[in-house]
Amino acid sequence: MMGERVITRNDYVSNKNVRIDLKALMARIDLNIKLDPSNESGTGLPRMTITEYGVMNMPERVPYVARNGGAYNEPADTTNQPLEPLLTKKENRILTKGDLVRFHYYTYENVRQPYWEAKRTNGTNAYNDDRTAINYPQGIDTDEEKQRWKPTIARKWSASAIVLKADYITHQNLMYKAQFTIFIGENTIDDFTVRRNRQYVNNVTIKGLDYVRNTDDGVYTFDGRVNVQSDNPVYISVVNERKVDAHASVLPMDFFFLRPLNADGTVPNSSVKVSLKDPATNTSPNWIRLEMITAEEMKSGVVSRNGSTENFIQGMPGQEYSAGTGARKYFTHDLVTNTLLANDECIVYRRQPDEYSDGSRTRIYFYIDENIPATAPDGDQNVPDRTATVHITYKNEETGEVRERTIDINQRGLLRVKPNGQVNERNIDFFIEYYEEYMDHSDPLDMHVMPGELYDGLRWCNPGPGIDTNFATNSAYRDWLVSQGYVSRWNIGAGTAANTRYRSYNIYGEKDGYWMTDFMINGRSNARPINLVKTYNRTEEEQPPTAFHYCYGKNKRNADGTVYSDNGKQGYWYMLGITELEQAMEKYYPTFPEFQENWYWSASSAKSGSNSEDTQNARATQTGRDGSHLGSGNGANQPGRQPRTNYNRIRAGYIFNP
């Protein structure tokens, strides 16, 4: 601390209190670290033990006056001169999910600017040309996500950072040595300024070991802050294997062979066997199969079988090991029961000396059939969850060492909703999905550059090509119902009650939502075809353009991507009618926190006047704490009467008898 004041004779003769304001020559750093991993198993949560912590690039001294002669707001340093090495202290701190640990320390001033010339892993500039904004990839919106990118714009050789060394035990119960590097500054996003006589509070969230960025001699970068080393012979990267929804799903898993090498520096010949077979019975579940994409294919981005690339998603141009490489374009109706019927195990090899004989970066896709029985369960039952166990066996073929482990893939069932019969006595039970996948990360190779990889919701319809925003559907919708045989002409014209049911603003329940979804996808000449929506939507063209596409896209497909026709009916996944949506949100309000604060689209357009459709708006709803549904009515001043181009959440429905 330092301060200065001239004391006069008057000051002490008159017994005055002498006050000298002191300024700290150091800054205080407060770091609050929360462990909030997205993955968990049925038996435990990820946990982290911080074994050592310290500071790197902390100056050893500071002048009594600032560099410009006294002011404390001099511009930040952009030189590249290294500072002091890492200084650490050993002290164990244990964290499980939701735990918060606090560190604080004092450091001399270190004023640094970001590294303006930094490059992203794909070669693009981290900053825009005038340095006013960071070029975050699409999907990076919240401060929690932006934290992961701060180290990519740091002058790592001179910016101050706190380093945590930890033992991280994953939800798969495997331990890794992790080092977390957290750069200090005014915020956790893009500031590296540490000035004397200040306090800096940084709140950091650690989401886990999910986002593998690259590999080099057994060191893996999971995001900009996290490097991981391990004595496990193989690192297996898989995300959300405990969060598979009831519809047909694709789950990727990546394999990384780790060091050490043999004593002479050669690669030990080894293998990993991945099997869905129960060792006791030698049988595998009939609802899940796998397909291996080799390391060579993942690197080149070109995947084919029998000389054809037609059925597979190819790698992103100019990007090795890109998310979605080798996935089937569509989950066809017989993919598990026919195409991949024999694919219940595979072996990944590591060999010398060929580059591609090292199976590191091999990918396996699990294709998981929809968890839907032939008929609805009796009574009030939901469709039960189910679990498949993946048996993984590592073998060092030179030493004979064998390591075995298992991973459980848990698939949710459908959730039943029983209507209350309040609208025209419509009482057919329907079901809803458990997860809204557009809100969650699913591929460990995602680089946050896929359009729509993470988003808040979708439009009811498009402002341009596709399903247009400004159209009337009433007469076209009624004609479509007749042409598809859903209702008879006699019912359409048989009085007011029957006639008004088949208007677009009367989409309440009991097949209404399904019929409207079918019409919006297949009955509109300007509708964007469903076959452009694939298992991986990596371009703007492939994103679900509307809420209807999101729901209808969960149905299984034909080889050309059209929805599979079963007994003349195309698909059973659909967008809920307004009453169905209200009843689902009311029943599962305590189960899903997202139901408590978000607007959700229904399949119903809004009403205009006494008996006509509002072609600009549709009906959304939000559930209040008292169970009321906000703005779901058709009145002109209802907040749920929203422009069709708004982005709202979606919860897809399923019926057994459309």
Asked whether the beta carbons of 564 and 333 are under 8 A apart, the reply is yes
591 Cβ partners below 8 Å, 6+ apart? none
Per-residue model confidence as pLDDT tens digits over 483-511? 888 776 545 544 555 566 778 888 888 88
Instruction: Write down the mean pLDDT value for the chain.
Output: 81
Confidence of residue 217 (pLDDT cuts 50, 70, 90): very low
Confidence of residue 63 (pLDDT cuts 50, 70, 90): low
Residue 193 has pLDDT above 70, yes or no: yes
Mean pLDDT within 72-92: 59
Dihedral angle sign, alpha carbons of residues 201, 207, 208, 213 = negative
- When mean pLDDT is compared across 14-23, 286-295, 552-561, 643-652, the lowest value belongs to 14-23
67 Cβ partners below 8 Å, 6+ apart? 74
The CA-based diameter of the chain, rounded to the nearest angstrom, is 109
- When mean pLDDT is compared across 166-170, 328-332, 560-564, the lowest value belongs to 166-170
Residue 139 has pLDDT above 50, yes or no: yes
Confidence of residue 13 (pLDDT cuts 50, 70, 90): low
Q: Which residue has the higher pLDDT, 590 or 493?
A: 590
Angle at 145 between CA 143 and CA 151, to 5 degrees: 95
Q: What is the reported pLDDT for 176?
A: 75
Distance CA 208, CA 224 (A): 13
Residue 100 has pLDDT above 80, yes or no: yes
Cis previous bond, 353, omega within 30: yes
640 Cβ partners below 8 Å, 6+ apart? 599, 619, 620, 621, 622, 629, 630, 631, 632, 633
Distance CA 560, CA 262 (A): 49
Asked whether the beta carbons of 125 and 76 are under 8 A apart, the reply is no
Residue 190 has pLDDT above 80, yes or no: yes
Q: What is the reported pLDDT for 356?
A: 46
Packing angle of the helix pair 512-522, 474-483 (nearest 10 deg): 100
Q: Which residue has the higher pLDDT, 555 or 145?
A: 555
Q: What is the reported pLDDT for 152?
A: 82
For residues 506, 509, 511 and 514, what is the CA-based torsion angle, rounded to 10 degrees? 80
Q: How many CB atoms lie within 10 A of CB 32?
A: 14
Q: Which residue has the higher pLDDT, 309 or 72?
A: 309
Task: Work out the burial of residue 360: count CB atoms within 10 Å of its CB; fewer than 13 is exposed, 13-18 middle, 19 or more buried.
Answer: middle
Per-residue model confidence as pLDDT tens digits over 611-631? 788 889 999 999 887 778 877
Dihedral angle sign, alpha carbons of residues 595, 616, 533, 207 = negative
Q: What is the reported pLDDT for 448?
A: 61
Closest CA to 47 of 258, 206, 164, 223: 206
Distance CA 581, CA 583 (A): 5
Helix (H, G, I), strand (E, B) or coil at 427: coil
Question: Could you tell me how many residues make up the chain?
Answer: 658
In what side-by-side order are the strands of the sheet with 100-108?
100-108, 26-35, 199-206
Q: How many CB atoms lie within 10 A of CB 416?
A: 18
Confidence of residue 255 (pLDDT cuts 50, 70, 90): confident
Residue 259 has pLDDT above 50, yes or no: yes
Name the range with the highest mean pLDDT among 52-61, 264-273, 471-480, 528-537. 528-537
| Percent of the chain whose pLDDT exceeds 70 | 79
Residue 542 has pLDDT above 50, yes or no: yes
Helix (H, G, I), strand (E, B) or coil at 580: helix
Per-residue model confidence as pLDDT tens digits over 337-370? 999 999 999 999 887 655 446 788 899 999 999 9
Q: DSSP alpha helices (H): ranges in 147-262?
A: none
Q: Which residue has the higher pLDDT, 181 or 171?
A: 181
Cis previous bond, 260, omega within 30: yes
DSSP calls for 515-565: HHHHHHHHS-TTPPPGGG--SS--SGGGS--SHHHHHHTTS-B-TTSSBPE
Structure tokens belonging to residue 195: 């000035």
Mean pLDDT within 28-54: 76
| Backbone phi, psi, residue 38, to 5° | -85, -20
Mean pLDDT within 175-204: 84
Residue 105 has pLDDT above 50, yes or no: yes
Give first-to-last CA distance, the chain, whole Å: 77
Domains in the chain with CATH codes: 26-229 (no CATH), 234-412 (2.60.40), 430-654 (no CATH)
Helix (H, G, I), strand (E, B) or coil at 442: coil
Q: What is the reported pLDDT for 515?
A: 92
Mean pLDDT within 226-245: 78
Structure tokens belonging to residue 378: 């009796």
| Backbone phi, psi, residue 544, to 5° | -60, 115
| Percent of the chain whose pLDDT exceeds 90 | 32
Confidence of residue 215 (pLDDT cuts 50, 70, 90): very low
Q: How many CB atoms lie within 10 A of CB 144?
A: 15
Residue 172 has pLDDT above 70, yes or no: no
333 Cβ partners below 8 Å, 6+ apart? 556, 557, 558, 564, 566
Closest CA to 340 of 304, 287, 408, 388: 287
Task: Work out the burial of residue 424: count CB atoms within 10 Å of its CB; fewer than 13 is exposed, 13-18 middle, 19 or more buried.
Answer: middle
Helix (H, G, I), strand (E, B) or coil at 312: strand
Q: What is the reported pLDDT for 16?
A: 63
Per-residue model confidence as pLDDT tens digits over 372-429? 998 899 888 999 999 999 999 999 888 888 888 888 899 999 999 998 766 555 678 9
Structure tokens belonging to residue 206: 């650690």
Q: What is the reported pLDDT for 64?
A: 57
Residue 285 has pLDDT above 90, yes or no: yes
